[in-house]
Structure 1
């Protein structure tokens, strides 16, 4: 029986990772059945916990048990997107028996802690907080219902449950970590709890590290001081005290800047994002140097092991046959969802990730004449699959998703899938010959979907952004859309130039190579698989966090 009142990580620790860490994240993508994630941030924290387990690190995860998850992605009658929310119940979570209160609007809200043991999905221990309790009024119960609730006050309350609640849970567990790691600024309210615990900002700073994932200032959450104060966000500290502690005057509290001011160390999530972040925050005094630790994904969880074995044995026939099998198997899911039966011998392009405007999901369709010619070319055919979850209240992104659904009705070789979660993500990477990634530079802090695509025998075709800048060798392990002068071009001009380059590379390099030079194509696929195997594998990342962020 686990002793939750004197909690210790329940496996033998590696001596170099004995320093104890509490890792706060709003979402964790550990495994398909545990639906408490929306996209890249969750995929990243899930891989981090898997690697912490593999390396025997003294790390626990602190998150929230979202009763309705992010949302379930269904379809309306015409196949367009229908966000749906269903109650989730999990037999594999353990009740810790721990309950405590967190003040929200000066009223005590009861919080219960659930536990995901390391052996269940081979991850570091994960504690999940819930307010969905009979002791709470209905409004308080709903705080942990939907990940990233659209209501401002609800979203603030959610971050308070993660931050204040998470810090309090750690004391209930008597875990006493050496390091509190905030993965994004959602949990920054924890610093106000820790101020009461440790007595001074200097003592909190000794223990706090912060990872930022947001490459532009406007994307960092800000709220009105009075609203936060009214909601008890500052845990008994007055607005004037908080302004002094965070060196932020005025009416607005910037969550990321507060995290930076309380952290002894901070990092961005790719080399380029580190540079962008240092420029972005460079004019603000009294913040730590922002280093970079490039995001990565867990090979054991994501990679197709047989594909790697055939590559290592230089068995080209086995390799090609395995990739064809993976495509064929994935296409059954696509056919089941959409009625489109795709061909495993045809070049398959996949665009699949969170639907957001800056990622430009529909970029390739913006020149409809060229798109139509491409999709109707019988000599060197291609097929395209889209998938991804827009934020359920982002009506612009939902509109783009729906446009693509309607467009797909005109073609046998275009499909749009729903329910883009861990399992479909892995299958679509196996289905993919070309993993298309065309965010507007430099908006993608890291982006990790291309890493796991490479782990499943796909070639990355990407704009020069995020992790790709560290990986890319155009024509050798991937295809790169050349950089445009994004600092001086309008958004429209940048999009047009990127689109022109995209078509040029697709028509003149990618399609001819796939059909006319199979050996060169296989070499590219395998070069990508080789290059991603260690450099962009989350064990490397988890080691770097200990070395660069926790240990020094």
Structure 2
């Protein structure tokens, strides 16, 4: 039993560091102990180990000879944590003593830690993972949402329903952050009408640490105890109090832990209050005036803006700002008018709301968008802040987003890379020459690997649809029909993202009568898999979901258009790994980046996208398909009509013919050639390792007082 206890202890250690979630071999260990329970707990190893009976753990370990594999995984984690031979050890040594503090309102690390809603959070999670792999000294700062983002279901009318479940903290991979005296750390933030309190948790993400602030503590009143219950829930008052905790509370938590960051990285404007608190802190420590400290803190601040959509930038009325930041304002010695001016484009316009993005831009000296086109759009959008500069000289650059490869590549595809690109391919992923070897992969092997992933996706979707139907109260016979939807041999198109109106989820289905003939073509059928959530207050987004769902339930489309409920990282993983085509058709130029398409690339899925965000700088005519010519029209209606026409034209004259042009062996040689082109031209560039290295070279090192690295 002592040996078994040792094995359990090692599994618990593995479960407590999210390094496991990008190690397919470790995931397999948990799954093989009890596949059904692993699915039941939503792939949460902490809950899994609490629920698996000890005798079953012992029996399965013996039957599957898992002991040595568990030992090996444990050693790998230990070696990884102790490793000093990393890119960061050489190129980011300036950050070793004083790391980067990376603030974000959400972090998407894994579905078992539900503190994210979409792309912004997943990007933040991928940033932490790559910082860990590269050995970049970095501390994440966020909020612990006790109910997370909502769980989505559809009623009998196809209308989105939201439910919120309280999370049992004991089932999460988190531990209390301990202060210098060894007691659980708590921080407080004073406002003009009371004090907010929060406890601090820590999550280990490989070699990086994520700090999460939690307002559910006895010191708060009942209203404030629910402050961090839900992500993006509540009104403006709730939002500003959350952002006060994130920014001001986050800086205080870091200081209380004895961490002295040399860089503050604001991932979106939600955390911009952090800069004000850092100014206050340094004024108190140094005795220097606001002007001098402001200059120094702005130099150490990096700000990443993520959206060109006006509604995506938080704005608050002046009285709400004064209520919550009045104490900070007084401490840094600014008048009411000067302080409010920090959040306004037109400083003295008392009617202008206080904007968090404006505050972040005014208090940082290193600002960037998240793609080349988004950089252009951001400079145009915020040009009024810099009236004395030409638009092209507005100090907002760009660092194009990337995705964490080992999180998003399917194990089957990773094995193919291992065989043909070399066992160390993932360590060399950012080098173009690494991917050149993909040309030598046999077409049949690549196609077979893709078909395996597609079959896995269809099995997953069928299972989810049957469960959805039963949950809606449909009869067993009615639910059973979903067990046969989707054809493994048909061209399969995936569309999954937040159902914001500008993303135009229904664009492909705008002309239903025409789509009937295209979708149900006897020789060249196509099928769609949709997923995504609308914000609870976004009625238009909900109507769009209902529109698509009702089409999916139409007898003409019942087998080839489906909507998968409750989109999360697990659903996303299956979709980007298994569909043939990843469709993205936002209204240009409102898609800042679009990282889901980058995840698709890693799995041999071809992008079919508007030339917006990352695709505007990625598409070369052979590595996927483009909708439109990269132009905009003054009329939204005209632009939508033109883009719809282009989508249908490219679909019917390029995508479908290329996919179904198969030789006698059933291989679509021209399609596979495009897959290889996509791997070769895109995988090395649009990954998070390259992204984080760009941040180190262009932003972190200069912000920390160093010179730009090469």
Give the shorter-chain TM-score range.
Answer: over 0.9
Q: 1:95 aligns to what?
A: 176
Deviations 1:464-494 (A, max 9, x none): 10000111012x1011012364243x11111
Q: Which of 609, 615, 622 in structure 2 is aligned with 1:462?
A: 609
Q: How does 1:21-170 map to 2 (within 5 A)?
A: 21-89=100-168, 90-96=171-177, 97-104=184-191, 106-118=193-205, 122=206, 124-170=208-254
CA distance in 2, matches of 1:133, 1:95: 13
Cα contact 1:51–1:123 (8 A) shared by 2: no
Q: Which of 652, 656, 661 in structure 2 is aligned with 1:516?
A: 661
Q: How does 1:163-182 map to 2 (within 5 A)?
A: 163-182=247-266
Cα contact 2:112–2:172 (8 A) shared by 1: no
Asked which structure has the greater CA Rg, the reply is 2
Q: How does 1:416-431 map to 2 (within 5 A)?
A: 416-431=563-578
Cα contact 1:348–1:384 (8 A) shared by 2: yes
2:579 is aligned with 1:439: no
Q: Which of 683, 686, 697 in structure 2 is aligned with 1:533?
A: 683
Cα contact 2:299–2:366 (8 A) shared by 1: no
Q: Which of 332, 348, 352 in structure 2 is aligned with 1:249?
A: 348
2:399 is aligned with 1:293: yes
Q: Which of 528, 532, 547 in structure 2 is aligned with 1:388?
A: 532
Deviations 1:376-419 (A, max 9, x none): 21110111110011112211101111111111012211100012
Cα contact 1:429–1:452 (8 A) shared by 2: yes
Deviation at 1:215, TM superposition (A): 1.4
CA distance in 2, matches of 1:126, 1:241: 34
CA distance in 2, matches of 1:511, 1:353: 23
Partner-residue secondary structure (3-state), 1:342: coil
Deviations 1:186-216 (A, max 9, x none): 0111122122112231122122111111214
Deviations 1:96-117 (A, max 9, x none): 1110211245311111111111
2:461 is aligned with 1:334: yes
Q: 1:6 aligns to what?
A: none
CA distance in 1, matches of 2:341, 2:642: 47
Tell me which moved more, 540-549 or 305-314.
305-314
Cα contact 2:576–2:600 (8 A) shared by 1: yes
CA RMSD across the alignment: 2.1
CA distance in 1, matches of 2:648, 2:295: 54
Deviation at 1:77, TM superposition (A): 4.0
Partner-residue secondary structure (3-state), 1:231: helix
Cα contact 2:628–2:642 (8 A) shared by 1: no
CA distance in 1, matches of 2:566, 2:523: 33
Deviation at 1:11, TM superposition (A): 6.5
Deviation at 1:322, TM superposition (A): 1.5
* Cα pair distance change 1:245/1:511, threshold 3 Å: closer
* Cα pair distance change 1:406/1:368, threshold 3 Å: same
Cα contact 1:189–1:234 (8 A) shared by 2: no
CA distance in 1, matches of 2:630, 2:686: 26
CA distance in 2, matches of 1:458, 1:225: 48
Q: How does 1:479-494 map to 2 (within 5 A)?
A: 479-483=625-629, 485-488=631-634, 490-494=635-639
Q: In the comparison of the two structures, how many residue pairs are matched? A: 541
* Cα pair distance change 1:462/1:123, threshold 3 Å: farther
Deviation at 1:420, TM superposition (A): 1.3
CA distance in 1, matches of 2:538, 2:188: 33
Partner-residue secondary structure (3-state), 1:423: helix
Q: Which of 624, 631, 652 in structure 2 is aligned with 1:507?
A: 652
Cα contact 1:307–1:323 (8 A) shared by 2: no
Partner-residue secondary structure (3-state), 2:582: strand
Cα contact 1:310–1:316 (8 A) shared by 2: no
CA distance in 2, matches of 1:197, 1:10: 33
Q: If each structure's strand is expressed as a fraction of its own residues, which one has the higher value?
A: 1
* Cα pair distance change 1:401/1:246, threshold 3 Å: closer
* Cα pair distance change 1:540/1:417, threshold 3 Å: same
Q: How does 1:171-210 map to 2 (within 5 A)?
A: 171-199=255-283, 200=290, 201-210=294-303
* Cα pair distance change 1:383/1:205, threshold 3 Å: same
Q: 2:521 aligns to what?
A: 377
Q: TM-score, normalised by structure 1?
A: 0.94
* Cα pair distance change 1:342/1:301, threshold 3 Å: same
Partner-residue secondary structure (3-state), 1:232: helix
Partner-residue secondary structure (3-state), 1:351: strand
Give 5+ residue unaligned stretches, structure 1: 3-8
Deviation at 1:78, TM superposition (A): 4.6
